[in-house]
């Protein structure tokens, strides 16, 4: 077993034992059943165990004792549900559970599931002032909810918000128990997928002007905290950075976005607009809201490919549906403008993007078709020494003759290798490359 995992399991056990003592003490003093147990304030939390993910996380967030209690309570159903069984005791006067304990019994889960009310009881018992003050810990602006560590489940209209389930975000369940990074599954409710690249900056072929513009974004990402806080820019400019990458397909827009994330340690998530844009009024906004909420708390870079599908020029409002659609898009544009991280929109044509939104970009970067020298570098990069190829291939001629992108060359490489692996020579021939180029041009509606 991984030594760090072993340490973490021990830390979780200690945390659950502490929670069990807290619950026992709170219930004992609440019902005044014994004078032998220490008061809840006298029960100290376990010391941090070096190498334990759980304790590292608590230390990094500088959680207070009360916040640590709430975190332990939210974690308990996932690792030690029996710790919460005490809350199942019945109020004999009414033949049901105690209202002040909160909590519910799950559908499949046989144990007690804590709610916000459970947390308030644990923190303050029946002390009204203490409960009101403890609500700040569970509020959206509180450290745990602001970071997306915990959230409340949905509550029916008219019921107290603290009656919502105290939910530990799945990311933190995975990380705090097993040290696993969280990567949400893409679906209609979460229309985004993490994208990565094995390439490096040296593998990217761009012109000097584009390079300079990309360097500005990278500098902002690397020094944002210094600029916004220490230099006071946060008092004068909005947080976040919005940029448009535009140019023909295959010119490096997606790779550049992933490399920005790779260089700064920020995950890059591509939003799938086919899952976002809905024929049902109001659904587009709903489908995107979860992505923005998670991305803001996790410091993700959001990448909208083929962005004109959603952020293109708005239609003339000839019907109530058109008017609502335009209002919805306007709301989403505002949501992106308020996003506190990097948003990259990619489009084939700059003119396709709505002008009202284009004015809000910090930078608009053109990715042109590569020139002859850049094409030569791309041919060399993709058809490297590992690829078996005939000495007859004239890459200078290919770079001179065919105006293609890196994306086109990747497709030609794949086609040529498939042809070569079944040929007697077991190597790529000039004819294979030309045939692959012809196919690329046909798919683009062009002829050689």
If one compares 360 and 155, the residue with the highest pLDDT of the two is 155
At 276 the pLDDT is: 67
Full DSSP string of 143-156: HHHHTTSEEEPP--
Spatial CA neighbour of 408 closest among 373, 428, 382, 371: 382
Query: Which residues lie below 8 Å from residue 392, measured CB to CB, with a gap of 6+?
Result: 429, 430
Answer whether 148's CB lies under 8 Å from 293's CB: yes
Answer whether 189's CB lies under 8 Å from 177's CB: no
At 10 the pLDDT is: 95
Tokens read off for 172:
């933190």
Beta bridge partners of 312: 353
Spatial CA neighbour of 401 closest among 429, 377, 434: 434
Residue 351 has pLDDT above 90, yes or no: no
The Cα 138–Cα 406 span in angstroms is 50
Report, as an integer, the average pLDDT of 353-379.
Answer: 87
Helix axes 406-421, 430-443, angle to 10 degrees: 130
Total-model pTM: 0.70
Confidence band, pLDDT 50/70/90 cuts, at residue 341: very high
Residue 77 has pLDDT above 70, yes or no: yes
Task: Please write the tens of the pLDDT for every residue from 125-139.
Answer: 999 999 999 999 999
User: How many residues comprise the chain?
Assistant: 448
Residue 19 has pLDDT above 90, yes or no: yes
At 443 the pLDDT is: 86
Residue 63 has pLDDT above 80, yes or no: yes
At 261 the pLDDT is: 96
Judged by average pLDDT, the poorest of 30-39, 108-117, 180-189 is 180-189
At 141 the pLDDT is: 86
Query: Which residues lie below 8 Å from residue 179, measured CB to CB, with a gap of 6+?
Result: 4, 5, 8, 53
At 378 the pLDDT is: 95
Q: In what order do the strands lie in the sheet with 342-347?
A: 192-195, 268-271, 301-304, 342-347, 241-246, 363-366
3-state helix, strand, coil in the chain (%, to 5): 55, 10, 35
Residue 149 has pLDDT above 70, yes or no: yes
Residue 112 has pLDDT above 90, yes or no: yes
């Amino acid at each position: 077993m991984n030594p760090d995992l072993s340490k973490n399991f021990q830390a979780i056990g200690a945390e659950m034992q502490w929670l069990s003592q807290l619950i026992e003490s709170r219930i004992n003093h609440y019902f005044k059943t014994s004078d032998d147990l220490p008061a809840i304030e006298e029960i100290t939390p376990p010391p941090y165990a070096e190498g334990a993910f759980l304790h590292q996380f608590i230390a990094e967030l500088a959680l207070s004792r009360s916040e640590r209690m709430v975190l332990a309570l939210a974690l308990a159903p996932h690792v030690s549900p029996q710790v919460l069984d005490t809350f199942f005791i019945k109020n004999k006067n009414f033949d049901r559970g105690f209202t002040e304990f909160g909590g519910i019994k799950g559908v499949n889960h046989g144990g007690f599931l804590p709610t916000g009310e459970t947390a308030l009881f644990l923190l303050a018992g029946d002390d009204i002032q203490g409960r009101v003050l403890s609500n700040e810990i569970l509020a959206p602006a509180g450290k745990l909810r602001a970071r997306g560590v915990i959230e409340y489940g949905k509550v029916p209209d008219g019921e107290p918000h603290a009656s919502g389930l105290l939910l530990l975000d799945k990311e933190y369940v995975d990380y705090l128990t097993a040290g696993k990074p969280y990567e949400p599954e893409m679906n209609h409710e979460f229309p985004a997928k993490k994208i990565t690249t094995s390439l490096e900056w040296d593998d990217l072929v761009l012109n000097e002007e584009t390079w300079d513009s990309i360097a500005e974004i990278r500098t902002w990402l690397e020094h944002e905290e210094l600029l916004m806080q220490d230099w006071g820019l946060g008092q004068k400019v909005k947080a976040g950075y919005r940029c448009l990458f535009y140019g023909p397909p295959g010119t490096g827009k997606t790779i550049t976005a992933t490399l920005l994330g790779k260089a700064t340690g920020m995950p890059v998530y591509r939003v799938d607009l086919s899952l976002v844009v809905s024929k049902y009024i109001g659904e587009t906004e709903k489908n995107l809201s979860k992505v923005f909420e998670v991305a803001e708390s996790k410091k993700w870079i959001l990448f909208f490919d083929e962005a004109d599908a959603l952020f293109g020029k708005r239609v003339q409002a000839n019907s109530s549906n058109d008017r609502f659609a335009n209002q919805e898009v306007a709301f989403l544009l505002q949501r992106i403008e308020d996003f506190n991280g990097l948003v990259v929109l990619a489009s084939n044509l700059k003119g396709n993007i709505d002008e009202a939104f284009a004015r809000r970009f910090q930078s608009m970067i053109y990715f042109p078709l590569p020139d002859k020298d850049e094409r030569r570098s791309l041919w060399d990069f993709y058809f490297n020494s590992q690829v078996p190829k005939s000495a007859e291939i004239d890459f200078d001629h290919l770079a001179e003759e065919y105006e293609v992108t890196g994306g086109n060359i990747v497709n030609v490489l794949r086609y040529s290798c498939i042809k070569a692996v079944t040929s007697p020579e077991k190597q790529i021939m000039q004819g294979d490359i030309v045939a692959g180029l012809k196919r690329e041009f046909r798919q683009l509606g062009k002829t050689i």
